[in-house]
Amino acid sequence: MSLVDENSVWNRLGPFLQESPEPLEERTFGARELYSLFRRRLLLIVAIVIAGTALALIAAVELPKTYTARSMIVVETDDPNPLDTTQAQPNQQPDKSRMDTEADLIASRVFASLVVDRLDLIQDPDFNTYLPPAAAGGTSDSSGGVLSQAVGLIVWIPQKLFSLVAGSGPQDATSLPPKDVQQDRAISAYLANLSVDRSGESAAMTISFFNDDAATAAKIANATARLFVEWSRDNKRQDIKDAVGFLRQQSTELASRIAAIEGQIAKYATEHGVSSDPRDDLLRASIQQANEQLSTARGEYTQAQARLAQVRLAAKNGDTGAGVDPLLTSDFLTSLRNDEATAMRDRAQLAGNYGRNHPLVQEADAKVAAVRAMISQEMLRTIAVLENDVRVDEGRVNQLVKSLDASNEELRQRSLAEAKLRELNNNLATEQKLYDLVSGKLGSLDPFSEAVEPGVRTVSTAEIPTSPSFPKLRLMLAGGLAASLVLALILVLTLESMEVRIRDLRRASKLIRAPLLASIPRLPQKFLRPGLPPLETLLSRPRSAFSDAFRSLYNACTRMNGGRSKHVVLVSSGLPQEGKTTTAMGLAMAAGMDGALTALIDLDLRTRSLHTAMELGSASRTLGDYLQGDCALAEIVQTLPDIPQLDVLAPSADDQTLPEFLNSGQLTKLLEAFRLEYDVVIIDAPPVLVVEDAIRIAASVDTIVVVAAFDSTTQEALSQVVERLRFAGGPSIGWVFNRVDPFQQARGALRKAYMRRQQIRRYFFADSP
């Protein structure tokens, strides 16, 4: 099988050799990645889930048992205020606010103090922790499990140490805190184990109490319900008593105020002579008549002023037309005006016949002046008459105004008195109504002040529980399983987010800007059986996916060398245990099987693992002998029996050659000798990030193959290896992805990966293990 990635060899070689690398794609996390993550971390997930479930099981068995007893009460119809006169609606359901109030009252410290007192819980060490515990230190409880005893011991030791540091020993009856402090502690412990619940719009409430003793839990739950009913009855009875006392006090005070108001009404009516009946008062009638007279007088006064103004204007203008006042058209004034006209006519005739200074003309002028003087006197007399009429009318108006003001003032005073009287009457009516209301309510409450029904009643008593409410085995197991699974998912996702090991071929290729030459599949393994070693797999299964990957690698290296006949390839990795020796061995065997005269050289002189991996025997001469010139090249190599075209130089532990020779000119001579004798020379070099040997060798080879192990080599390590080799001036560099699962190359859902698996097996079915 050819496992050379379709996007990794020569069709992707050009972009990697460009100066500007392509930007890295952002990592995505989909269904395929999640499936791969589960496969890689399956053991961790299973271990965490098993551990979490086991801890939950241990906790369910060992934790102290808690029992829950439940009693139920029902809140009756809303009780009206004792002082409220409105009638309550029959069968009215209690509203939510009242239900919440009742629940808060049950959980209040006031009611809790009543329960603590009635049940004498202050003498119980479980509630009053100031008392010495029943079992000292909590470690002698034989009924508890190992976990319970351990928890009790853990709690007891700090308490003991604190008491020793504080200098206080065990408290006895004389060293206990005050009674109210102990009661507060018991109340707090009681409320911590109490729960009040309500379902939907139901008028029923469930009182739950938790305790490690079933009988105690049932006893306190029933006592809480019973005492709350009694407490509600006592509170309601006290409210009615308070209401009756208040009504009685109000009734007495109202009776006193009514008597005082009646006395004030009688005294005020006598002092001010007012009556509450307005028909007996004649003052308003006289005021109405005076208003009418004032209106008439003001009209006459206005008319007189208008006539006076008219007469003055007419007298000034000499107007005697139809529209003037009748006083100006009297017989006397008419006669005078006629005489004036006659005199004027005679003067005009005389003035025409005689001169201006003629005696007759002057006589006529004197006659006209006399007539006009008489007219003026008559006009002045007429004006004086009219002015007198105006003054008379004005005086009448003023007199009426003063009379009306006096009447209005009197009316105002009487109105104030009547208003005060009406106010007193209204106060009297109000006090009488309130007195009747108080008397009626007092009459309805007083006879029943002792017979009071509580607002709640008990409908269900708590039975002694037979099974604990905590811990519940099934719930604890389910919770432990779910919690451990969530924890495992969070842990593996956290580890995955921190993971920098290489799993993505394309991302790694873009990161180092070097082509991917081949993907070497991991060796198959059967369950509980060790897999075949690489050498045996390559020899016994030459058509397997593992063997075919090295043939693809050999072809890629040949193309990278431009097809030249002589080719020296350096195989190295960043760190040990990444598969460089296996890769070098597989590449050499693929070249030998292809017919090329191949030499495999192990220059990792610090480990010399190739000799063991290929199961070689001892050579007749060593590398040291050859470097000293004591033998020929053919004497230090070994030929693989199954591949005659492959010679191997793998120094054994007996070879005394030191790694320092790699830094000398002898290395160049050695490689030149191999280049002359062989077509392909494969060098297994030390890791680049461990020693500098591979950097020294790189300058003498044609191609460098960097091996990276799937899910082992980090991106940073791979980048450092490639950068160091490039900085050293090495030739073309490609990389190999080792230990890859070929079935994970399918990019898609599980069904697509399964189909990819079946397609691959069609080609390698016969050689599949």
Instruction: Identify which has the larger pLDDT, 674 or 535.
Output: 674
> pLDDT-based confidence at 627, cuts 50/70/90?
confident
> What is d(CA 135, CA 155) in angstroms, rounded to the nearest whole number?
13
Rounded to a whole number, what is the largest CA-CA distance in the chain? 198
Asked whether the beta carbons of 480 and 55 are under 8 A apart, the reply is yes
The 8-class DSSP code of residue 701 comes to: -
> pLDDT-based confidence at 146, cuts 50/70/90?
low
Is residue 11 over pLDDT 60? no
Residues 389-430 have pLDDT tens digits of: 888 888 888 888 888 788 777 777 777 777 777 777 777 788
Helix H or strand E segment including 113: helix 109-119
> Which amino acid is it at 692?
E
Region of residue 103 (left: phi > 0; alpha: psi -120 to 50; beta: else):
alpha
Is residue 678 over pLDDT 90? yes
Residue 191: predicted pLDDT: 93
Instruction: Identify which has the larger pLDDT, 155 or 349.
Output: 349
Per-residue pLDDT averaged across 529-535, rounded? 70
Is residue 708 over pLDDT 80? yes
Instruction: Identify which has the larger pLDDT, 566 or 535.
Output: 566
Residues 197-256 have pLDDT tens digits of: 988 788 889 999 999 899 999 999 999 999 999 998 888 888 877 877 787 788 788 788
Is residue 36 over pLDDT 60? yes
Angle, CA 509 vertex, CA 503 and CA 514 arms, to 5°: 140
Residue 140: predicted pLDDT: 39
Residue 272: predicted pLDDT: 65
Per-residue pLDDT averaged across 158-164, rounded? 61
Percent of the chain with pLDDT over 90: 14
Asked whether the beta carbons of 472 and 56 are under 8 A apart, the reply is no
Residue 660: predicted pLDDT: 73
Note the pTM of the prediction, 2 decimals. Answer: 0.49
Cβ neighbours of residue 596 closer than 8 Å, sequence gap 6 or more: 645, 679, 680
Look at residues 128, 101, 107 and name the one whose alpha carbon lies nearest to residue 191. 107
Alpha helix positions (H), 63-145:
96-106, 109-119
> Which amino acid is it at 497?
S
> pLDDT-based confidence at 174, cuts 50/70/90?
low
Percent of the chain with pLDDT over 70: 77
Is residue 603 over pLDDT 70? yes
Residue 215: predicted pLDDT: 92
Instruction: Identify which has the larger pLDDT, 316 or 757.
Output: 316
Asked whether the beta carbons of 197 and 208 are under 8 A apart, the reply is yes
Helix H or strand E segment including 73: strand 67-75
> pLDDT-based confidence at 526, cuts 50/70/90?
low
> pLDDT-based confidence at 325, cuts 50/70/90?
low
Asked whether the beta carbons of 525 and 749 are under 8 A apart, the reply is no
CA 544, 549, 552, 553 torsion-angle sign:
negative
Residue 376: predicted pLDDT: 80
> pLDDT-based confidence at 437, cuts 50/70/90?
confident
Look at residues 36, 20, 38, 61 and name the one whose alpha carbon lies nearest to residue 492. 38
Residue 68: predicted pLDDT: 93
Instruction: Identify which has the larger pLDDT, 665 or 644.
Output: 644
Per-residue pLDDT averaged across 259-279, rounded? 67
Is residue 165 over pLDDT 70? no
Residues 61-109 have pLDDT tens digits of: 888 889 999 999 998 875 555 555 555 554 566 778 888 888 899 999 9
Look at residues 256, 246, 212, 227 and name the one whose alpha carbon lies nearest to residue 67. 212
Look at residues 696, 494, 732, 699 and name the one whose alpha carbon lies nearest to residue 603. 696
Is residue 576 over pLDDT 60? yes
Residues 725-763 have pLDDT tens digits of: 888 776 778 888 888 876 554 444 444 555 555 555 555
